[in-house]
Amino acid sequence: MKKWYRKLHWQIIIGLILGLFWGLFASMAGLTDFTTGYIRPVGTIFIDLLKLIAVPLVLASLVVGVASLNDMTRLSKMGGKTIAIYMVTTTFAITIGLTVVNVMQPGGTLPVETRTALMESYGETVDGREDTVEALQERSPLEFFVDIVPENFIEAASDNANMLQIVFIAILLGIGLVKIPAQKGEPLIHLFESLNDVIIKIVDLIMKTAPYGVFALMAAVIVDLTGDDLGQALILLRALGWYCLAVLIGLLLHVLIVYSSLFKIFSKMKLRDFFKAIRPAILLGFSTSSSLATLPVTMEKVEKNLGVNEEVSSFVLPVGATINMDGTSLYQAIAAVFIAQALGMDLTIAQQLTIVLTATAASIGAAGVPGAGIIMLVIVLQAVQVPIEGIALILGVDRILDMARTAVNVTGDAAVSVAVAHTEGLLGDLHFDDED
């Protein structure tokens, strides 16, 4: 048995805590430039390594998964089921968010002077985000499907944000492999199988450096937040503390209620065991604020520890990392109502229902990268006629909430993969890795 502090998840937690303290110390001791110049790059390299293997991993594991299906109706059944469960969990997330924000009323506690000051300091940053969303809104809804079909393989594989295109290519390749004589397809299948194994090994190697990467990422986040003035950051946190608490409570309730019900309905898994099995992935989601960067580790833990068959995980997880964002949608609901409350606007029931629809769309549209959720929040605000300048109010603390909501996004994808695997008869035994 390994000593507790040698286990990966404890090392990551220790890295996070040390990073937090370093960040605070650096901002008090005037070491922010040093932290940005010499510590942040370690975190950036760590995230880049994870991103580097995401495309080959999804491609290899999904091709192998699809090629092993001899019945294609299974693939479409699994696809339909996955999307349906994703939509249901997202709707619950938004409903929980709306309930929490209406009960806690965090917008009512924001003093008018703080509101004015926040609008002044962050107002300009908001403008750029508005343009991005405007461009998105001018597109037809069918563009979403057009975007999934790439016109060029290299181009699709050149940007991790195109993950759905990679999923599409992998499914096509897998189907092609099933349709040709087994003998002819074998070499290619072996190639992908071997690529898959190699990449899983590389994930292990990268994860050995996770504690350092996480330390650096956390230190950089804190330094960004505080700059050279810790006092200012504390004032901001105090003013927005109630709002942050509302988001955190909402996220916690969602995990406890929705995922444990999901397990009760679809599998016999206990929430505690589930967390134990995938904690490195959740911690990584928290430290990187990116579901896409976390994807390789989520896949590894879901397969190895939760016993989800690769056929399921290689489809459900990459799709989830792109479109299923329970944490983000819950946060968007709370943020939209908070801004309305802070600006003295009362939202009607009809407007709150509009939030359910638009936050679902906005979370699907949000990429699994840091800060995507707040950009898409513009769509939700516009739909309920709340001035988007109000985003300035919450921008200062968004990075911290991004970490928490990403951890929930990752958790949600893993939970749904368990549900889908169980209903497909493809859920094996739980396995707790001594290293984790």
Q: Does 368 interact with ligand ASP (rule: CB under 6 A)?
A: yes
Return the bridge partners of 427, or none.
Answer: 308
Among 35, 313, 324, 406, binds ligand ASP (CB under 6 A): 406
Inter-CA distances, 253 with 37, 203, 259, 276, Å:
39, 31, 10, 18
Alpha carbons within 13 angstroms on the beta-carbon side of residue 89 total: 39
* Residue whose beta carbon is closest to ligand ASP: 373
Q: Choose, by CB under 6 A, the member of 287, 405, 418, 422 that binds ligand ASP.
A: 405
Residue 428 CB, nearest distance to ligand ASP (Å)? Answer: 27
The least CB distance from residue 20 to ligand ASP, in Å, is 19
Nearer to ligand ASP, 300 or 311 (CB): 300
Return the structure tokens found at 168.
Answer: 């599409």
Return d(Cα 332, Cα 376) in angstroms, integer: 8
Q: Is 402 an interacting residue with respect to ligand ASP (CB under 6 A)?
A: yes
CB closer to ligand ASP, 200 vs 366: 366
**Quick check: 370 binds ligand ASP (CB under 6 A)?**
yes
> Going by C-beta distance under 8 Å and a sequence separation of 6 or more, which residues neighbour residue 394?
240, 243, 335, 338, 339, 374
Tokens 């960004």: give the residue: 224
- Distance set, CA 200 to CA 58, 319, 417 (Å): 11, 19, 18
Select the residue interacting with ligand ASP from 79, 123, 371, 387 (CB under 6 A): 371
**Mask: binding to ligand ASP, 58-97, rule CB under 6 A, as x and -?**
----------------------------------------
Backbone CA torsion sign across 401, 403, 404, 406: positive
State yes or no: residue 322 binds ligand ASP (CB under 6 A): no
Question: Given candidates 160, 226, 289, 324, which one binds ligand ASP under the rule CB under 6 A?
Answer: 289
Q: Is 372 in the site for ligand ASP (CB under 6 A)?
A: yes
Choose the binding region for ligand ASP from 79-87, 208-216, 288-296, 387-395 (rule: CB under 6 A): 288-296
Exposure pattern of 354-380 as b/e (b: 16+ CB <10 Å)?
bbbebbbbbbbbbbbbbbbbbbbbbbb
8 Å CB contact between 351 and 357: no
Sign of the C-alpha dihedral computed for residues 381, 325, 201 and 210 taken in this order: positive
Nearer to ligand ASP, 267 or 329 (CB): 329
Instruction: State the residues that interact with ligand ASP by CB under 6 A.
Output: 289-291, 325, 328, 366, 368-373, 402, 405-406, 409
